[in-house]
Amino acid sequence: MLVAAIMDVVTSNCDSLEKVCFKPALPGNAETRDIADVIEVIEEGGMHFGEPQRDEDDDEGGRGMRGIGIKILEGTTVLGLSRTSRLMKLGDTDDVGVESDRPTPKTLALLSKHDSSSSQANLSSAVVPGLWDDLHCQHVAVPFAAWALANWAMASGANRSHIQELDQDGHAVMTALMAPERSVKWHGSLVARLLLEDRDLPLNDSVSDWSSSLLSTVSQASKNDDIPLARVALSAFLVSIERSPRAQEVVMDKGLQLMQDAAKRTTKHKEVQETLAKVLDMISTGDMRLSLEESQKWSGILLPWVFGKSSSDNTRYSAIKILSCILEDYGPSSIPISQGWLAVMLNEILGSSKTASAKHGSQPKNDKVKTQIDQSNIIFATQTANQLSSAVVNLARKQLVTTTDADETFPLLDLLSLEPFTGPLKNLKKDTASKFDATDSALATLKGIKALTEVCSEDSICQKKLSNFGILCLLRRFLLHDDYEKLAAMEAYDASRAVEAQKRTSDDPDESSDSDGNNPSSVRVPPTSHIRKHAARLLTVLSLLPEIQKAVMADEILCKWLEDCANGKIQGCNDLKTQSYARATLLNVSCNQQARRDSSDSDDGVHDSGIAYRNRSCPRYDDMIFLINPELPHWKCPDDKHRDNVQRSKSSVGKTDFNSPSTPETEASNVGDSCSSIDESQNSSQSVVPLVDIVFIHGLRGGPYKTWRISDDKYSTKSGLVEKIDQEAGKFGTFWPAEWLSADFPQARMFTLKYKSNLTQWSGASLPLQEVSTMLLEKLVAAGIGSRPVVFVTHSMGGLVVKQMLHKAKTENIDNFVKNTVGLVFYSCPHFGSKLADMPWRMGLVLRPAPTIGELRSGSSRLVELNDYIRHLHKKGVLEVLSFCETKVTPIVEGYGGWAFRMEIVPIESAYPGFGDLVVLESTDHINSCKPVNRTDPSYTEILEFLRKLRAHYT
């Protein structure tokens, strides 16, 4: 053999961290004595050929260089110098021990006979960079022995078994891992990994020691930017952690700082970061967990792993899992981390949205209002992102004040050094943190969730980004826990203790005055219910994504919470919107997952992205569609027996039948897998099949619930300016569709809708009539509304929205939506315009009317066209119409000493479309026309009678 022959193989490439791929140069049936000799070389620093001769000139007394050792290993010559330098500790310089191993000129002459120029060329062109560089052209015996051992270990399981048997205490491998030569460390790491990966071999007792040495090698290699060595050592370290619980304990106790250092130094190396993330995942998400201090230190590394562009999916997954465990373990104490997670997420989404807007350029004229709304959402989100970042800094610094004044030892320092927080941290005043409390922090979080929802509600790309960034873990935390309330309680307790301590130390009790920061009575209650509501809304928006559906189904605890929330069983979660969001999420998850399984079973399914909304067999409930009484048993997912009926109902023509078979759009059932055990009694035969859908649509400045709530005082509205025309009316009281109509007409499944409907541009842009109708039509058809008999109950402009939707459905050939609309109820609908839009000054310079108001002027040709279309449908007997008319003036602008201006917003000549039944409501203004006082009020009795007539007529 010649050295060149060996070098060609030794320096082969390590293609990946998981599998070092080069063909072994040595056979798989090595002689046991050869393996023993190699182990001796590694452990002793050289080979013994008989008794060593004492060299009188040797200051080491014969323990120094023993000369040249030549050994034939199955036809391969191992040539090299012995060395007796001590093992080098990690962190020593690469030159340690080099001088003592420098050969004599006679030795150099002998080496030169075997060391050709070709071998030097191979050395310089090594595929693994610098593998043998530290030998300084001196081919000592130990590196070649380590190379041979690694090649044998790769060659066969039999060789690995012999190595394990001869090195039972693991000393040889440990010696190689601690050797001064880089090449020995490299091959020693490879041997350790190969032995650990072989599941047929017993686990060596020294594995925990191996893992410590391997981690030290990783840390030192990352410090020297020696990524190849870091990778091979890290691959062995990963396997040692996978197999040895003791190794996990050792790393948790003493190795976290080394891992942190390596992670900070290798941010540009994807494979190294992925393995470090996987190791941290294994040691911190099982029986062992990170301490609070370590969690805070790691947060500055974990968040970049989540959002880093160079992070792999595996790295991101591990980081999200670790962060979730931190939030689970430390609750209120981890709020700076969860809030920081949310802040970075909002900044990332904003960056993507602004980039997308810049690429698309200006929108067409017909999308001008939509563009204004999008820009308004981005502006709000930008402001919120700044507030959220400041909240993270304030809360973190407040914790620093209570612990230590040493900024350099502050555990959250790495987190605050990330980009969203550096600016607020510099601008933070020292006395600001003491004035910042849990409620301030909760309000910032609430705004952050709202901003994310508004920006991403109609943007599927942003929604997918949120999913990748781990938004589900944050939403789960916000829904299932009350961290901010607990933090407020902790602050109140600390404040009370501070007051007691102040009183004890004060000589004069009268002089001890409570400051604002130490007064327990000044502690405010965080808006936890509002955080839950908006978190539930965002979850509903995201529940249309397949990956979110899969994750929710796999989370039994979350499914149980959603089911209980929908049924009104969660204490402090009585908000009707929140309950609707919970049920809608379960419906989106269960039905679409079932449809996806059916599609894969039939092998002829089409991906969701390729199916038009109206051709879907499963409902898709968006956040604009609210389910009234989501606890009722008819909110169930479809059984398999009903799926064929969907296609028949969509292809059917002629008159609607109230007794037609139920369809997937109208039922909900088991949430599947982990959610299938929830409320099984409600999934049984007791489920009620609804005969009709009733959809409530509000008007200008209305809302999905407040428009239909009974006002405290039906005959007067205590509003101020026109901007608040419907904010206070009906804000408290009975929501009559749920509490009265649901009981009196149980055959119906009821919805209520939400859409932007501002009166003026001061409160933000609103979509014009046609855009609102198009958007709602898409949402309704996607939710399956219109696949069975449907009645629309509208107030004010909501009636025009429905008329426009029906006209749009006709032009888009959505025939079932038109044919199955069997009834329209109009409360004070301006069929021919409103006096509010006809005022002489037309609200121009005073109130800057929104685009929608301009469409309500009397005599509008568009309104006449829509009314003629509905008249045609009524004349054909397709639908029935019931209209209500106001008779009292409505306050518009409040003046000094009382109401300065009142007017009749929709007069009778505009409220009556010219066909159908008309009910004149005595002493009722525009706002309260849709708010019956009780069940005997004509505004309620007439609609109930109308619905019963429809049922009798069509059955």
Q: Say whether pLDDT at 101 is over 60.
A: no
Hey, which of 67-81, 590-604, 670-684, 880-894 has the most confident mean pLDDT?
880-894
Tell me: pLDDT of 610 over 80.
no
pLDDT (mean) for 349-373: 66
> Please, what is the average pLDDT of the chain?
77
The pLDDT value given to residue 81:
55
The model's confidence at residue 892, banded by pLDDT at 50, 70 and 90, is: low
**Is the pLDDT higher at 588 or at 502?**
588
pLDDT at 143: 86
pLDDT in tens, 247-285: 999 999 999 999 999 999 999 999 999 999 999 999 999
Question: Does residue 847 carry a pLDDT above 50?
Answer: no
pLDDT interval class at 595 (50, 70, 90)? low
The pLDDT of residue 220 is 95
Question: Do residues 747 and 951 touch, judged by C-beta distance below 8 A?
Answer: yes
Q: What would the 3-class secondary structure string for 648-665 be?
A: HHHHCCCCCCCCCCCCHH
Highest mean pLDDT: which of 111-125, 232-246, 854-868?
A: 232-246
Token pair 């022959």 in the structure block, residue: 5
DSSP 181: S
**Which two three-digit tokens encode residue 866?**
């829509």
**Per-residue pLDDT reduced to its tens digit, 152-193:** 999 999 999 999 999 999 999 999 999 988 999 999 999 999
Contact (CB, 8 A) for 445 and 342: yes
φ/ψ region of 916 (left if φ > 0, alpha if ψ in -120 to 50, else beta) reads left
pLDDT for residue 520 is more than 80: no
Q: For residue 733, count CB atoms less than 10 angstroms from its CB and return exposed for 0-12, middle for 13-18, buried for 19 or more.
A: middle
Kindly state the average pLDDT of the residues 291-320: 95
Per-residue pLDDT at 396 exceeds 50: yes
Q: Is 787 helix (H, G, I), strand (E, B) or coil?
A: coil
Spatial CA neighbour of 581 closest among 542, 637, 636, 634: 542
DSSP SS3 for 243: helix
pLDDT attached to residue 82: 54
State the Cα–Cα distance between residues 323 and 340, nearest whole angstrom: 11
Give the span between the Cα atoms of 283 and 505, in whole angstroms: 47
* Amino acid at site 169: D
The answer to whether residue 727 scores a pLDDT higher than 90 is: no
Helices marked H in 783-921: 797-811, 815-819, 844-847, 851-854, 861-875, 908-911
**Top-confidence range, 105-114, 270-279, 626-635, 772-781:** 270-279
Contact 699, 795 (CB under 8 A): yes
Residue 112 has pLDDT above 60, yes or no: no
Place of tokens 């999934």: 683
Contact 499, 442 (CB under 8 A): no
Decide if pLDDT at 655 tops 50.
Answer: no
Lowest mean pLDDT: which of 39-48, 633-642, 867-876? Answer: 633-642
Two structure tokens written together for 851: 């685009």
The better pLDDT of the pair 551, 356 is held by 551
Give pLDDT, residue 711.
65
Note the pTM of the prediction, 2 decimals. 0.82
> What number of other Cβ atoms are within 10 A of residue 349's Cβ?
25
* Residue whose tokens read 């992102």: 385
Q: Is residue 226's pLDDT more than 90?
A: yes
User: d(Cα 825, Cα 350) in Å, to the nearest integer?
Assistant: 42
Looking at residue 23, its pLDDT comes to: 62
Confirm or reject CATH 3.40.50.1820 for domain 692-719+731-954, answering yes or no: yes
Task: Please state, in angstroms and rounded to a whole number, the distance separating the CA atoms of residues 779 and 777.
Answer: 5
Q: Which of 851, 860, 752, 863 is nearest to 800 (CA)?
A: 863
pLDDT band at 359 (very low <50, low <70, confident <90, very high): low
Q: Where are the domains of the chain?
A: 289-356+372-427+434-496+525-596, 692-719+731-954
Considering only residues 847 and 466, tell me which one the structure prediction assigns the higher pLDDT: 466
503 in Cβ contact with 512 (< 8 Å): yes
Q: Is the confidence at residue 650, as pLDDT, over 70?
A: no
In terms of Cα–Cα distance, which of 162, 155, 161, 154 is closest to 34? 162
Q: What is the pLDDT of residues 44-86, one digit of tens each?
A: 876 655 444 444 444 444 443 343 444 555 555 555 555 544 4
Distance CA 620, CA 927 (A): 32
d(CA 666, CA 694): 12
- Residue 677 pLDDT > 90: no
Q: How far is CA 308 from CA 302, 337, 344, in A?
A: 10, 17, 11
Q: How many CB atoms lie within 10 A of CB 955?
A: 10
Higher pLDDT, 309 or 642: 309
Of the listed ranges 363-367, 423-427, 482-486, 857-861, the one predicted with least confidence: 363-367
Q: How far is CA 887 from the centre of its chain?
A: 51
Residue 900: predicted pLDDT = 44
Mean pLDDT in residue range 728-745: 79
Question: Are the CB atoms for 667 and 689 separated by under 8 Å?
Answer: yes
Please tell me the predicted confidence (pLDDT) of residue 69.
47
Q: Give residue 398's pLDDT band: very low, low, confident or very high (50, 70, 90).
A: confident
Is 90 exceeded by the pLDDT of residue 196?
Answer: yes
d(CA 654, CA 633): 30
475 contacts 537 by C-beta, under 8 angstroms: no
